[in-house]
Structure 1
């Protein structure tokens, strides 16, 4: 993905978290109602790709990222999407200064996809960068405050949840569904020094392939786990299918066959995610490098053209001065020769100019 919005003048705050925790609501409040932000109220993911949203009257942009629990895409695709956005920011010298990790306070514990998402967050950002991270809890209006406060304590003190992040310098903040609350969370981060995600260091600085990064290895492990789980389900379905065949239950046999087809499709999706980690990000790296090279070549040619233009006008001015002096000094006798000389110089300058056209 190449975004026209990202450049070196921007301060970027990344927004991360699972589906349905309130990321889009937070961004909507922060941007004063950005029409592009879609807020979901169902379990299907609304943040399908990385996008950036401007906070009006500032140079601050919020980078909205998909969670690693996307309804339709595997972890390999999601990591590739996030990596592309981070890599583009790196190559365009945009200044990433902070990360907001969003979690709904209505969830008393982290289970399943939430735990996986948290593990991926730690690897993508890097434990050494936790001082740039705010852990933001949302949906405080959805339940009694005392219940939310108990959940908050659990998040902060459990070593499987946020305690290791807080110990490394992350801060825990509450979002109260207002623009003012969003500003109070964002602006301290916006004034922090810029930093590089661990994923960016490994991919763009150390030039590792995406599958070789710590995040890529973890995503691959998660895909392997998912494949194994699906394959186990298929084996159980095969056993059920044999029983159904023995009992001549054709309807059940058909249902089991359809379920097997779905699981096989999911396994193929997992395999595609693993292949993507190997290939697609590397292809994007090459394409982005080529694009940046073309932009740099154009800028260099523009600079050279302007430099030569100044030189040409300097030559014209000097030649004109010499021609006038020769004409005056000769009492006008040298005027025809001076004119021919000037025409010759202009012809040479025009020929040089034509060579620079591109």
Structure 2
């Protein structure tokens, strides 16, 4: 579901575990499942209809973070870019973007920095005036002073939000559940500044391939850096492997060969990710639709197989029921025959007496 031109559509972004789905559920007409533990719940883009207390109809877009344990950044970027580009082609513009961040994080780790970099590249400077940075999980902060200090660090840090605030982004606290969620959404609605993101201009207006966009180039740069690291490790492993073979150390030889295969597997996967970034908007949409059709076909096959198993189970149940009824009938007949036999013996004994 995408909506229509003129609809109020707000994207919700941030790292896994920042509370994106929880935020959406405060306003959603129907709640989404919330992930627990290490596995992220939001693995695809979800457009969620919401009805505000004043009756206004809006759509919140729940997006996956670029720190997924099970999917690469390339796969996530393809998913997000395809949705954004498809919406843009349908003349659906985002009313704004809400970027959630856990205030309880003492330091912003690699995943947080990577997410923020990708966010900047997706948006570009022109869209930052329609962005809200909202801090979550205030209930876990020991005192107001600690939270305020961390909030100030985020606002003033050059690698965090400083530049984006200077470009018009606002900072809110998502600390009062549904009430603060409504406040944030109402701020963006009242501002009513529809935004076109850089990746939409790059891929739709300029027909760039995904790897040529700012966000795609960020992934290509990271892969190139990883490639240099893998190549260095492979060279070190080659030297150690030759030494292990020379001294006939079979245990270390086996361990080094396994490590070498793992490095080569990671390099091959990274190169495949780069290849998958070489797609323009139309190709990306076609590939995504083909993937969805394949998934639907697999799902249909699974349902059909389950139906077949259910029918077989029902047939077996019916057969057992028939068999049971037959055995019960036979048991009744045997009981009746025994009863007749017993009556006959009793009558005979009485006649003798």
Work out whether the TM-score is over 0.5: yes
> Contact between 1:74 and 1:269, CA under 8 Å: does it hold in 2?
no
Q: Is residue 86 of structure 1 aligned with residue 75 of structure 2?
A: no
> Contact between 2:208 and 2:280, CA under 8 Å: does it hold in 1?
no
Distance change (3 Å), C-alpha of 1:109 and 1:132: same
Of 14, 19, 22, which residue of structure 1 is paired with 2:16? Answer: 19
Distance change (3 Å), C-alpha of 1:240 and 1:288: closer
- Runs of 4 or more above 6 Å deviation: 286-289
Q: Supply the distance in 2 between the matched residues of 1:220 and 1:161 (Cα, whole angstroms).
A: 22
> Contact between 1:102 and 1:135, CA under 8 Å: does it hold in 2?
yes
Q: Supply the distance in 1 between the matched residues of 2:255 and 2:282 (Cα, whole angstroms).
A: 41
Q: Is residue 216 of structure 1 aligned with residue 213 of structure 2?
A: no
Corresponding position of 2:138: 140
Distance change (3 Å), C-alpha of 1:249 and 1:106: farther
Q: Supply the distance in 2 between the matched residues of 1:41 and 1:235 (Cα, whole angstroms).
A: 38
Offset at residue 94 of structure 1 (A): 2.1
CA RMSD of aligned residues (A): 2.4
1:40-55 equivalent positions in 2, closer than 5 A = 40-42=36-38, 44-55=39-50
Offset at residue 100 of structure 1 (A): 0.9
Offset at residue 32 of structure 1 (A): 6.2
Where does structure 1 lack aligned partners over 5 or more consecutive residues? 290-358
> Contact between 1:210 and 1:282, CA under 8 Å: does it hold in 2?
no
Corresponding position of 1:74: 72
Where does structure 2 lack aligned partners over 5 or more consecutive residues? 290-353
Instruction: Describe the superposition over 1:134-193 as per-residue Cα deviations: whole angstroms up to 9, x where unpaired.
Output: 011111111213222211111111112111111111111111261112111112112312
1:321-336 equivalent positions in 2, closer than 5 A = none
> Contact between 2:134 and 2:171, CA under 8 Å: does it hold in 1?
yes
Of 27, 32, 43, which residue of structure 2 is paired with 1:30? Answer: 27
Corresponding position of 1:276: 276
> Contact between 2:33 and 2:41, CA under 8 Å: does it hold in 1?
no
Secondary structure class of the residue paired with 1:103 = strand
Q: Supply the distance in 2 between the matched residues of 1:38 and 1:280 (Cα, whole angstroms).
A: 33
Distance change (3 Å), C-alpha of 1:125 and 1:253: same
Q: Supply the distance in 1 between the matched residues of 2:249 and 2:137 (Cα, whole angstroms).
A: 49
1:1-358 equivalent positions in 2, closer than 5 A = 4-31=1-28, 34=31, 36-42=32-38, 44-56=39-51, 57-145=55-143, 146-176=145-175, 178-191=177-190, 192-246=192-246, 248-279=248-279, 281-285=281-285
Distance change (3 Å), C-alpha of 1:6 and 1:154: same
Distance change (3 Å), C-alpha of 1:151 and 1:32: farther
Q: Supply the distance in 2 between the matched residues of 1:260 and 1:151 (Cα, whole angstroms).
A: 43
**TM-score normalized by structure 2?**
0.73
